[in-house]
Every structure is written in C-alpha cells, then in structure tokens.
C-alpha cells in the first residue's frame, strides 16, 4: 500500500513542471482553435460566387439531365425533312409518301390530311399533331357550299349544298345526283379506282356516257377534298404493259413511248410525249400528274 502511494507523491519542483506542461497543452489547443477560425474567415472572404458563371453551370446541369429527351417546337408538316421525320418517329415509307405528295406541288392543310397522306398511326399522330403549325392563310377544305337559288316568285334564297369527297363516295351516294343511275354510278367508281383516285374535279367528265349537265350536278355535290397518293409511273423505266395500266394510255401508245425513249436515249420532258403518235396531247397536264421522268 505504501509502495502504491509512493507513485503519486511529487516534489514541489515536479508539481510545478506538471502544471506548466498542462498550461502549455491548453495554450496550444486554444491557439489552434483561434488560428483555424481565422483561416476559415479569411477563405470565406476570398471566395466570391460569380453569378453569371453559376447560371451557366446550372443551365448545363439542366441540359445534361434532359439529355435524350426530344424537344419538339411548332413546325409546318409540309416541310418535314428526312432527318426531322426520323426524329419525330416516322418510318422511311411514311416520309416518302409525304415527299411524293409534295412533289406534285400539293399541300397538307389539316391533321386529317397528314394522316391520309402518310398513313401514320393514331398514336404517333396524337403525339406530334399538337405541334403542327399551318400558315394563317391556310383554310380547311369546305364541307358545304352556299348557292343562291331563285324561287317561283322571283326572289333569291340561300341553298346550302353539302359537298362530299368524290374519292370516298359510294355508288349509292352518286346515284343521289339526278341523271346518275346504276350503270353510270358504277362506271364512275370503276374509272376512279383505275386512276387510283381523282386528282381534279373535272376528271369526272372523262367518264364515258356522262352528259355535261350531269357532270355539272355531280361536281356541285362531290369534289376532290383530299387528293389521293398517286403511285407514279416512270416513263424512262416502265414497260409498255405497266404504262398501259394508266387509263389515259393504251398499249399501242405505251409501246410507242418505249420505242421513242430507246431511239432518243430517254425522255427528258413531258413535252416530248406530244411528239409520239397517238398520244393524247390535250391531256398532257393531267397525264403528267401520274408520270415520272
């Protein structure tokens, strides 16, 4: 016990040394704390946020977080390029249908027109159609015409005639026109189907057996509201049999076209077709809508 107590007995000099050692340790701790605080305050004063740079950094972070997300801006569907169509989700065939339609100098004027031309799915149409932007002057196809009709008393009144798309009309609907019976209505539908659809209202007059007055009554009630997508025939590569499938060209004329292009190393303009014997030159403008060079 006495031996144990001897370890805790210090002389006056030893106690003084221990006291000063503890004092030095405490002083060093206090000095370190004061120094650390001073350094932190100094660093905070040196660090200054550049608001402009920070704004750019925030914008880059936001852009990076949206990477892979397609941002669609309003656009005119008549001028969709291959790349634009690809990013929108259109297939190559759908884009080609649009370009073929525009190559005929025709325009899409509504969402419904776009789907009928390209044949895109309803789901894709619902996704991209809200961004369609048509020029202010574009007007949708009319569904009715107003005519002034004179009654028996000599006064005029407005008579509304509902116009339907002739490319969608059935034989039964065509029979509603005075002067069109079973044979003529069936003949109109057959002629339309052979053409692949009417592209002009006046093409109805080319149906055999229709009198001018009847044609006039038909075109008052039925018009080309949405032109069809035409599978054009290339006059420089198609065979005589392929060209003869067009209503306006018989096999004899088609064969003459093949001979002409072989002798002249190709056909370079539609005007050259007038040089071919038997070619219906008076219909060149209409026939050219179904042909390619």
pLDDT, position 47: 54
Whose tokens are 């936001």? That residue is 62
Residue in this structure with the two tokens 């088609």, named with its chain if needed: 254
pLDDT averages per 10-residue partition of the chain, 293 residues: 56 75 85 78 59 72 58 83 87 91 84 88 87 66 46 49 83 91 92 86 89 91 84 89 89 92 90 90 85 86
Q: Would residue 34 count as lying in a domain? A: no
Ramachandran region, residue 266 (left: φ > 0; alpha: ψ -120 to 50; beta: rest): left
For residue 203, is it within any domain? yes
CATH number, domain of 176, equals 1.10.150.320
Q: Are residue 124 and residue 159 in the same domain, yes or no? A: no
pLDDT of residue 292: 86
- What is the reported pLDDT for 70? 59
pLDDT at 147: 45
In this structure, what token pair is assigned to residue 96? 């080609």
CATH number at residue 274: 1.10.150.310
137 in a structural domain = no
Residues 153 and 209 in one domain: yes
Domain end call among 98, 131, 164: 131
Q: Domains in the chain: how many in total?
A: 3
56 occurs within a structural domain? no
Given 223, 257, 276, the domain boundary residue is 223
**Within a domain: residue 55?**
no
Residues 210 and 247 in one domain: no
Whether residues 182 and 204 fall in one domain: yes
154 and 210 in a single domain? The answer is yes
| Domain extent for 158 | 144-223
pTM: 0.45
- Give a yes or no: residue 60 inside a domain: no
Which residues neighbour 30 within 8 Å (Cβ) at sequence distance 6 or greater? none
Residue 96 makes CB contacts below 8 A (sequence gap 6+) with none
Question: Is 29 within a domain?
Answer: no
The answer to whether residue 4 sits within a structural domain is: no
Cα 160–164–170 angle (5° rounding)?
Answer: 130
Q: 244 with 195, same domain? A: no
């Amino acid at each position: 016990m006495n031996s144990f107590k001897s370890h805790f007995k210090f002389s006056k000099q030893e106690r003084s040394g221990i006291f000063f050692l503890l004092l030095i340790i405490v002083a060093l701790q206090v000095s370190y704390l004061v120094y650390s605080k001073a350094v932190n305050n100094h660093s905070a004063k040196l660090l200054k946020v550049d608001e402009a740079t920070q704004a750019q950094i925030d914008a880059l972070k936001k852009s990076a977080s949206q990477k892979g997300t397609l941002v669609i801006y309003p656009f005119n569907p008549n001028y969709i390029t291959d790349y634009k169509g690809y990013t929108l989700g259109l297939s190559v065939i759908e884009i080609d249908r649009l370009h073929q339609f525009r190559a005929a100098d025709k325009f899409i004027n509504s969402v419904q027109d776009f789907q009928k031309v390209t044949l895109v799915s309803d789901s894709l149409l619902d996704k991209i159609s809200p961004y369609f932007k048509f020029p202010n002057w574009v007007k949708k196809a009319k569904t009715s015409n107003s005519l002034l009709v004179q009654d028996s008393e000599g006064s005029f009144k407005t008579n509304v005639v509902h116009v339907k798309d002739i490319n969608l009309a059935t034989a039964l609907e065509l029979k509603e026109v005075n002067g069109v019976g079973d044979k003529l209505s069936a003949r109109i539908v057959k002629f339309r189907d052979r053409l692949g659809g009417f592209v002009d209202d006046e093409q109805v007059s080319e149906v055999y057996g229709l009198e001018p007055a009847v044609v006039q009554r038909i075109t008052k009630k039925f018009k080309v509201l949405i032109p069809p997508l035409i599978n054009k025939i290339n006059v420089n590569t198609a065979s005589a049999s392929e060209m003869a499938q067009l209503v306006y060209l018989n096999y004899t004329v088609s064969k003459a076209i093949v001979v002409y292009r072989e002798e002249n190393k190709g056909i370079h303009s539609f005007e050259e077709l007038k040089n071919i014997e038997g070619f219906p030159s008076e219909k060149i403008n209409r026939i050219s809508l179904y042909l390619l060079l």
